[in-house]
Structure 1
Amino acid sequence: MPSKEYLQAERNQPWREALRKTMKNKERTDLPRVKMPEQPPEVRIHNFREVNLGLTPEQALAESHRCLDCVDPTCITGCPVEINIPKFIKNIERGEILEAAKTLKETNALPAVCGRVCPQERQCESQCFYVQKLKKQAVAIGYLERFAADYERESGHISIPETAPANGIKIAVAGSGPAGLAFAGDMAKMGYDVTVFEALHELGGVLRYGIPEFRLPNTIVEVEIEGLKKMGVKFVTNCIVGKTISQEDLKEMGYRGLFIGSGAGLPNFMHIPGENLIGVMSCNEYLTRVNLMQAADPESDTPIHRGKKVAVIGGGNTAMDAVRTARRLGAEKAMIVYRRSEEEMPARIEEVKHAKEEGVEFFTLHNPLRYEGDENGHVQRMLLQRMKLGEPDASGRRRPIPIEGDTLWVDVDEVIVSVGVSPNPLIPSSFAGLEVTPHGTIVVDGETMQTSVEYIFAGGDIVRGGATVILAMGDGRKAAKGMDAWLKKTL
């Protein structure tokens, strides 16, 4: 723990009092929302450093002052991991930033990650009093979460959540992505002996292979995982549950419960002519090779083709990650092709904004019909169908309808397909008794995340079929609570 002298010095830094005086006579609701400092677009497209630079202490204190500390904090209901948002923000306002970080860790195993990649505008911030009642911009909860987590890390005084006395009960986790890490953290707090098995050689799951450095630096993920290790969580890499070790092996090793958080790693394709051409690949492969296998380095053992005219098919965050990666790898023309309008895009507003600033061209209301290649079998152009929006479909978004006879050819030399993912069938097919949906996702009880095999719980993309980091973490927390209750009844 930091010394009393250190904490007092932090509270008494001159900028705190100066800023308090500046804000003294202003109503909280009159203060403008802070703007996140960023690398300029013309600079950042030539590097993989983080685009958002983080708030200064002055900015964070000013933004924390906007929080109204509502009697009924609806922002908490919008948070899948139930962070006590007013409490951590008020700690920042008082200058107790390390206490703010400690508050975050009470319910969030990965605050520095969530502060960067969570879609706060659709979750906690959408429920903020400013949005709901005042029709103004929400308190920048995500920015403040990142600030508190980064401040703690950079201070060198990183708090480790308290854990209950060890109970000797062994629990296994398949997958070190956000669902598995959240589950492991909560189970460790309750005194369980937790081991996380990861199929790849690096920990973090989608946080490592799916999200580029310019949005989530690997060092951030590593520090968060190091905190879990200090809580007693053990990690085993290069180990595929269902293949390297079986269901029977886990039982023989003494594990009394298993959480499956293996994600959804199988890419979907559109099954249109030309998808087998050289230069057409899944977004999953593209980002994994760049993020995890150093494929951006020409000297890498697995270098990647650097297209000059790159099209990314899809409108989610993963598509934005891919098209912005392509720009950094030298694409002169980088395009998003999406069959609906921009309003229906599932990507974060910030990611779309950043992509546009970086010169990405948006072909909304367009859908690829086919790809054609050159004499060497390399993709050369794509035929796009113009679309219009009809009535809403099952997702609530308006259904895209082709405009008869309205097509155009566009030159491309690389196509990255980002139209969703499916769960890897390895665990569902190799574990006896698991109930699986026709889509390959594991069936669970919505309250406890328990599967049809009573000692197995599951969450994240293996259940949802593709969702956000924070929803996966919410599943992990819910599963930890459910498994703890089940174990206490049965042991």
Structure 2
Amino acid sequence: MEEMAEKLKLNRVEMPKQSPEKRRSNFEEVALGYTPEQAALEANRCIQCKKPKCVEGCPVGVNIPEFILALRDGDMPGAALSLKGKNSLPGICGRVCPQEVQCESRCVLGKKGAPIAIGRLERFVADWERVTKKCPPCELLPPSGKSAAVVGSGPAGLTCAADLARMGHKVTIFEALHEGGGVLVYGIPEFRLPKGIVRSEIEYVKSLGAELELDSVVGKQVQIDELLKGGYDAVFLGIGAGAPRFLNVPGENLSGIYSANEYLTRVNLMKAYKFPDYDTPIKKGKKVAVVGGGNVAMDAARSALRLGADEVHIIYRRSREEMPARLEEVENAMEEGVIFDFLTNPTRFLGDHRGMVNAMEVVEMELGEPDASGRRSPRVKKGSEHIVNVDTVVIAVGTVPNPLITSSTPELKATKWGTLVVDERGRTTMEGVWAGGDITTGGATVISAMGAGKIAAADIDHWLRKNGKWSES
């Protein structure tokens, strides 16, 4: 009996998902979530450490043992309240947060076996609350008489807005697009993050008192200093890094070559995957190459398969060990039939008489010494050039911030990469303005952006309640 108990402690309960054969032809969610019985079994693995290190690995400070204990004891409202006390977007985080390198990497069970499936339990509790609506309301502080403008409704903005609203401040979120969610709706496919989940969690943030204004482009329709002069006491910038990077090689402007931003926006936000209900133009290639090795590259490649491609290749200049994508996403892509061309890099693209891409020249790479990122630097193998036939290419090699805000607001200091300069509290170089997320770090994770939004909200609250002067707080 003791041996069986020990075995249960070491082996996590696997979460069911669609078979590769079925899911590669639909955009429905791949991971199906735990059943109540599976969630209870996994929660029972938690040994309730007296000094839990898992909490240290959570950028938003969720009390992980507390919500798991409530789940284990059958107190689902208590589990949901514990989660939402720190995380206003648990249904999103439970799906896309890289728990394996954060909270789960600190779990003591991981020393001998598998760590607790914290993200999967978070998803289970969040989905239960979304369906039942039985979570007790979070405490809201009395109105402070202060107001804040939050620019951007991605993970950083939503988190900052939710925390400020709970603290009693009047909050307005300005979103440039026609739908809230930022990268959560335009960048992450339905099969990984259903948009109904995003909309539900935005509604939750609004229920705390935050207002959402869509089709509002700050930096163009209204300037930041106009917000501060027009009644807002503080501004938070969570506008992400939505401008694509390119390879800067010959032929990159041929038709049929997309940035990952454009490709995924057409598929997700503009719902090209729902043709003919949504007649969004997108090239449904038969032989598709996706250049890059991150989660965005996996999303683009897996979307291309679902749009009907016969063959999809990931072109990555390093080896599998250096890939920044989550292991789960790489494994899902491989199961679905995506082909990985490691140690390969494009040098130019070739087109036909109509200006459509029909081939690319690539070179083979080999790994040298580690670079500044800690990954081994790739270098070209001489004489390895060869031609590969393709009819669609997606460039997924990262993003940079849109320069609209910095170009229209000279008081905001930016780095040479276009990211905003902030201190450890999220304060920018312009008094009364904070920033967080990808606009300050470049492309990073959803949960790191949320952590930045949370840090900034705490400092904004302190600043507003103290005296509202940069030099005195």
> Shorter-normalised TM-score: what interval?
over 0.9
| Whole-angstrom CA distance in 2 between matches of 1:236 and 1:341 | 44
Superposed displacement of residue 408, structure 1: 2.5
Which of 18, 38, 49 in structure 1 is aligned with 2:17? 38
Question: CA separation of 1:135/1:400 partners in 2, compared to 1, >3 Å: closer, same or farther?
Answer: farther
Of the structure 1 ranges 437-446 and 290-299, higher mean CA displacement relative to structure 2 is found in 290-299
**Matching of residue 87 in structure 1 with residue 59 in structure 2:** no
Give the Å deviation of 1:252.
Answer: 3.5
What is residue 471 of structure 2 aligned with on the other side?
none
- 1:265 Cα deviation after fit: 0.6
1:354 partnered with 2:332: yes
CA distance in 2 between partners of 1:156 and 1:88 (Å): 17
User: Match of 2:315, as an amino acid?
Assistant: V
Residue number in structure 1 paired with 2:156 = 179
**1:19-72 Cα distance to aligned partner (Å, 9 max, x none):** xxx999724764521111001111111111000000011111111111111122
Q: 1:104 aligns with which of 83, 87, 102?
A: 83
| 1:118 matched residue in structure 2 | 97
SS of match in other structure, 2:384: strand
Distance in 2 between the 1:25 and 1:212 partners?
40
Q: Partner of 1:304: helix, strand, or coil?
A: coil
Structure 1 position 159, deviation (Å): 3.9
Equivalent in the alignment of 1:10: none
Compare 241-250 and 218-227 and name the one that shifted more. Answer: 241-250
Give CA-to-partner distance per residue, 1:266-290, whole Å, 9 cap, x none: 0000100110111001000000011
Choose the corresponding residue for 2:122, options 141, 145, 148. 145
1:136 equivalent in alignment to 2:113: yes
Is 2:176 the partner of 1:199?
Answer: yes
1:5 — aligned with what?
Answer: none
Matched, 1:156 2:125: no
Select between 162-171 and 23-32 the one with higher mean Cα deviation: 23-32
- Residue type of the partner of 2:287? K
Partner of 1:395: 373
Contact 1:160 1:231 in 2 (8 A): no
2: CA distance between counterparts of 1:296 and 1:26?
Answer: 46
Aligned with 2:434 (options 457, 460, 465): 457
Change (3 A) 1:297 1:182: same
C-alpha displacement at 1:155, in angstroms? Answer: 1.8
Return the TM-score normalized by structure 1.
0.93
Structure 1 SS opposite 2:54: helix
Alignment of 1:278-293 (within 5 A): 278-293=255-270
Structure 1 residue 151: Cα displacement: 1.1
Assess if the C-alpha contact under 8 Å between 1:296 and 1:303 holds in 2.
no
* Distance (whole Å) between structure 2 residues aligned to residue 285 and residue 260 of structure 1: 23
Distance 1:288 1:392 in 2: 34
What are the Cα deviations for residues 345-393 of structure 1, in whole angstroms up to 9, with x where unaligned?
1111110010001100000111111110111111111111111111100
Matched, 1:270 2:270: no
Tell whether the 8 Å contact from 1:28 to 1:68 is kept in structure 2 after alignment. Answer: no
Q: In the alignment, is residue 435 of structure 1 matched against residue 418 of structure 2?
A: no
Q: Which amino acid aligns with 2:55?
A: I
Query: Is the CA contact 1:388–1:401 (under 8 Å) kept in the aligned structure 2?
Result: yes
- Which residue of structure 1 lines up, in the alignment, with residue 352 of structure 2? 374
Flag the 1:416–1:23 CA change in 2: closer, same or farther, 3 A: farther
- The CA distance in 2 between the partners of 1:251 and 1:188, in whole Å, is 18
Residues in 2 aligned to 1:440 and 1:171: alpha-carbon distance in whole angstroms: 24
Deviations 1:436-489 (A, max 9, x none): 11111000002x100111200000000001100000000000000111122222
Correspondence for 1:487 among 464, 470, 473: 464
Distance 1:159 1:241 in 2: 35
Q: For 1:404, what is the secondary structure of its paired residue?
A: coil
For the residue of structure 2 that corresponds to 1:320, the secondary structure is: helix
1:311 paired residue number: 289
What is the rounded CA distance, in whole Å, between the counterparts of 2:396 and 2:88 in structure 1? Answer: 28
Compute the displacement of 1:156 (Å). Answer: 3.0
CA contact (8 A) 1:112 1:149 kept: yes
Aligned-pair identity (%): 54
SS at match of 1:180: helix
What is the DSSP-based 3-state SS (H/G/I as helix, E as strand, rest coil) of the residue aligned with 2:233?
strand
Question: Could you tell me which amino acid in structure 2 is paired with residue 256 of structure 1?
Answer: D
Q: Alpha-carbon deviations, 1:282-331, whole Å to 9, x = none? A: 00000001101122344434321100000000010011000000000001
The alpha carbon displacement at 1:157 in A equals 1.8
Alignment of 1:288-303 (within 5 A): 288-299=265-276, 300-303=278-281
Q: How many residues align?
A: 467
Deviations 1:66-100 (CA, angstroms, capped at 9, x unpaired): 11111221111111111111111111111112211
Once residues 258 and 149 of structure 1 are traced to their aligned partners in structure 2, the CA distance between those partners, rounded to angstroms, is 29
Between 388-397 and 294-303, the greater mean CA deviation after superposition: 294-303
Structure 2 length-normalised TM: 0.96
- Tell me if the contact between 1:265 and 1:284 (Cα under 8 Å) persists in the aligned partners: yes
Partner of 2:450: 473
Question: CA 1:372–1:25 in structure 2 vs 1: closer, same or farther (change >3 Å)?
Answer: closer
Instruction: Give the one of 340, 362, 384 matched to 2:362.
Output: 384
Aligned-residue CA RMSD (Å)? 1.5
1:403-455 Cα deviation digits (max 9, x unpaired): 11112221110000000100011111212311111111000002x10011120
> Is the 2:10–2:113 contact (alpha carbons within 8 Å) kept by the matching residues of 1?
no
How has the CA–CA distance of structure 1 residues 105 and 371 changed in structure 2, closer, same or farther, with 3 Å as cutoff? same
Q: How does 1:392-431 map to 2 (within 5 A)?
A: 392-431=370-409
Output the CA distance in 2 between the equivalents of 1:238 and 1:361.
Answer: 39
User: What residue in structure 2 maps to residue 326 of structure 1?
Assistant: 304
- Work out the CA distance in 2 between the residues paired with 1:425 and 1:142: 35
The residue type equivalent to 1:100 in the other structure is A
Q: What is the aligned partner in structure 1 of residue 143 from structure 2?
A: 166
> Aligned partners of 1:175, 1:169: CA distance in 2, in Å?
20
Query: C-alpha separation between the residues in 1 aligned to 2:43 and 2:271?
Result: 39
